[in-house]
Amino acid sequence: MDNKPNALGKGLDAIFSDRKVDLKSIESSPDRESLRISIDKIRTNPKQPREAFDPAKLEELADSIKEKGMIQPVSVAKEDDGYILISGERRLRAARLAGLREIPVHIYEGSSKLTEEELLELALIENIQREDLNPMELSDSYRRLSEEHHLTQEQIAAKVSKQRSTVANFLRLQNLPVEIKISLRKSEITEAHARLLLSIENEEDQLILWKKILSDNLTVKSLESFTKPLAGKQRKKKQKLGEIYDPHLQNIEDKLRNFFGTKVTVRRKSRHSGEIVIDYFSNDDLERIIDKCI
């Protein structure tokens, strides 16, 4: 069991103290005066963990900025020929849409140039604290910290003030088929759906159930009824999804339910045989079903 305390209350300084990064110089504070600089001098952060920006929401923010101005500054670091964005890319994009030429900024005043790892860490933490990242974007960010910067799960957890198990669970999303990862990134399915699909060993089965989630708008609870018999630890014997879920039989069930107006279950006993179970809940209900059959 993980016993790592949640360090969010310690502030960003505690997370980056080993790197001597002066995070107080980039933290927003009502007592700090922000500067205004030309928007053309700001270069976006190549390590920005967010990959998708909703155009409609950007337009809404741009309209708000046009009406009320840009209230919250972005954070930047000085470069030889301008500035690099540390956090606030969504605000920066919206400001450009709004036609602003200058925007308020907080300038990081560290003694040395930020490394690529520090740029990723700062952008990642800023988004995590805003709870603003898609689960797949968060997984990708952890993967980059692991693969590009050779950090262990324990080191990543310490830097972002999360449990190691939380980091591990997000990294597991990388094991999904690419189609499902794209779907999660587009918010077509939820993180809970994705975790249930991960409990299935067979990739073909994962894809079949993913398509069913999309076509039937399956809830997480409904999905559990399919994944539970397929989960590796719970299988007494190797089962194929076709033994539990047959799209053709499911279609027949749906038609029979609509016809009889009650729950109907079609069970396969062998390749060419099975049974149809029609539920009734009162004598009147039974008479109604019999009338349908006559």
Phi-psi region of 284 (alpha: psi -120 to 50; beta: other; left: phi over 0): alpha
**For the purposes of burial, counting CB atoms within 10 Å of the CB of 93, is it exposed (0-12), middle (13-18) or buried (19 or more)?**
middle
Bridging pattern class, strands 264-268 and 102-108: unpaired
> Which residue from 176, 151, 174 is spatially nearest to 164, judged by alpha carbons?
151
* Contacts of 25 by beta carbon, 8 Å cutoff, 6+ apart: 106, 107, 108, 109, 110
Measured distance CA(154)–CA(152) in Å, rounded: 5
> Which residue from 77, 72, 74 is spatially nearest to 22, judged by alpha carbons?
77
Bridging pattern class, strands 82-87 and 274-278: unpaired
First to last CA, the chain: 62
Catalytic position from the list 51, 60, 89, 131 = 89
Count of residues for the chain?
294
Please state the φ and ψ torsions of residue 270, each to the nearest 5 degrees.
-150, -170
Active site residue 126: no
Long-range contacts of 262-267 (CB under 8 A, 24+ apart): 262/289
Annotated active-site positions, please? 89
